[in-house]
Each structure stands twice: as structure tokens, then as C-alpha cells.
Amino acid sequence: MNALRVVRLLTWALVVVLAGVTGYIVWQGRQAGPQDVVGSGEAAVGGPFTLVDTNGRTITEKDLAGKPYAIFFGFTHCPDVCPTTLAELSVLMGEMGADAEKLNVVFVTVDPERDTPESLKSYLSSFSDKVIGLSGTEDQVADVVAKYRVYRRKVPTEGGDYTMDHTAAVFLMGADGRFRGTISYGEAQADALAKLQRLVAG
Ligand code: NI
């Protein structure tokens, strides 16, 4: 077999393999597509949860149903991201005027060890009385954090204290409890406002 013939054979072999791989990927894509939409009926972000509000009442996703909501995860000892986000959301709710009533804003602690319903209540009172603060047992918080695909990590600090690393995005959920998008930390106010207005418009 001369060298040219070997090259031709190898080229054809490669073409056949690539065609097979491409066909398989396309087929997989077609298989996965409709199943993802119809399948479980659960969105990738969000889902059922059980938590406790700042008045000690049990709150589940059913209590939020029927109204869109902006939900984010943080902790009261947070030095910058959480207070900034809460302050910005308060401003945005002011900008929305009467439409703010069509929206729930929810703050879920990632640090239930320190953020009891009582401490959440006093913390949130410096921002807006419209923010629903939610805490719970470690298991309840771990469950909702996993369902929203939130990252959280306890980081020890000097003197035996600790801080929490956590996802900074605000999750936008429809009245049906389905994920609609996010507002990133530091996103321009006009863009964030437009997203909230779209959310309440349905
Ligand atoms: Ni924070």
C-alpha cells in the first residue's frame, strides 16, 4: 500500500467517524430537547421549599405562588454584596411605583446559624419593609440553596469567626414559580428595572 492510499483510507475513515459522531449528537439533541421541556415539569432553578419568615411563620413556595418574585441569598453579616443588593432593590421598588405591589422580594439567609428570624427582621428593617426575610433549619436552607443552584461556603476568619461566600445574583421567578432570569450583582440600574418591569408584566 503506498503512502497516498493510506492517507486516503485514513481520511475516509475520519469522515465516517465524524459523520457518525455528528449524527449521534444531533439525535441526542432531538431526544433531549422535548423531554427537558415536557419531562419533569420542574425548572432547573427553583422548586418547593419550606422556610420560616421573620415572624416565625412557616413559608413554602405555595405562599409565593400567584405573584412573581425576585429572590436572593445572603447573610446579615455580609460586608458588601448583601447590603448593596438590598439597597438597590429598595431603590428599584421605589422606581416601580405601584407596580412594586405586583412583586415579592425575598431574601433567604445562607447562614441560618446566625441569622435567626429575629435577627433577620432587625437587619431587614434598615432597608425596606417589603422584603420577605426567610431563614430555617440548616437542612431547610441547604435544600433551598441546592434547588436554586446557589453557591455558599463558610470561610473562617481571624478570631474564630467566619464569613460566607455566596452567589450574588438575584433570581427572577414568575407567578408560576418558574425561573425567568437573573439580575447580576452590579448590573446597571436601568437594565435591572427593565427586567423587573418585564417580570411583573408577565
Ligand atoms: Ni452577601
**101 plus 32 within the same structural domain:** no
pLDDT at 48 over 50: yes
**91 plus 185 within the same structural domain:** yes
CA of 74 to the centre of ligand 1 (A): 4
Global confidence as pTM? 0.78
**54 plus 32 within the same structural domain:** no
Q: What is the pLDDT of residue 6?
A: 60
Query: Does any domain span residue 44?
Result: no
Distance of CA 6 to the CA centre of its chain: 54
**136 plus 66 within the same structural domain:** yes
CA of 86 to the centre of ligand 1 (A): 10
| C-alpha span between 145 and 43 (Å, rounded) | 14
Share of the chain above pLDDT 90, in %: 77
H/E segment holding residue 171: strand 170-173
Question: Is the Cα dihedral 150, 130, 136, 62 positive or negative?
Answer: negative
H/E segment holding residue 111: none
CA of 128 to the centre of ligand 1 (A): 17
For 31-46, what is the mean pLDDT? 54
**77 plus 16 within the same structural domain:** no
Query: Does any domain span residue 191?
Result: yes
| C-alpha span between 177 and 100 (Å, rounded) | 18
CA of 120 to the centre of ligand 1 (A): 13
Q: List the domain range (segments joined by +) for residue 28.
A: 3-36
Total domains present in the chain? 2
CA of 82 to the centre of ligand 1 (A): 4
Share of the chain above pLDDT 70, in %: 79
CA of 60 to the centre of ligand 1 (A): 23
| C-alpha span between 17 and 41 (Å, rounded) | 36
CA of 75 to the centre of ligand 1 (A): 6
For 58-87, what is the mean pLDDT? 96
Asked whether the beta carbons of 80 and 46 are under 8 A apart, the reply is no
**91 plus 173 within the same structural domain:** yes
CA of 36 to the centre of ligand 1 (A): 32
Question: 100-123 pLDDT, tens per residue?
Answer: 999 999 999 999 999 999 999 999
Query: Does any domain span residue 55?
Result: yes
**125 plus 165 within the same structural domain:** yes
**149 plus 79 within the same structural domain:** yes
Query: Does any domain span residue 138?
Result: yes
CA of 38 to the centre of ligand 1 (A): 35
Query: Does any domain span residue 58?
Result: yes
Query: Does any domain span residue 168?
Result: yes
Residues 6+ apart with CB under 8 A from 99: 197, 200
User: 438590598: which residue's cell?
Assistant: 86
CA of 76 to the centre of ligand 1 (A): 7
Q: How many CB atoms lie within 10 A of CB 185?
A: 15
CA of 166 to the centre of ligand 1 (A): 6
**150 plus 194 within the same structural domain:** yes
**151 plus 87 within the same structural domain:** yes
**71 plus 114 within the same structural domain:** yes
Query: Does any domain span residue 43?
Result: no
CA of 149 to the centre of ligand 1 (A): 16
pLDDT at 5 over 70: no
Give the domain CATH number at 120. Answer: 3.40.30.10
**144 plus 177 within the same structural domain:** yes
Q: What is the pLDDT of residue 30?
A: 46
Question: 179-191 pLDDT, tens per residue?
Answer: 999 999 999 999 9
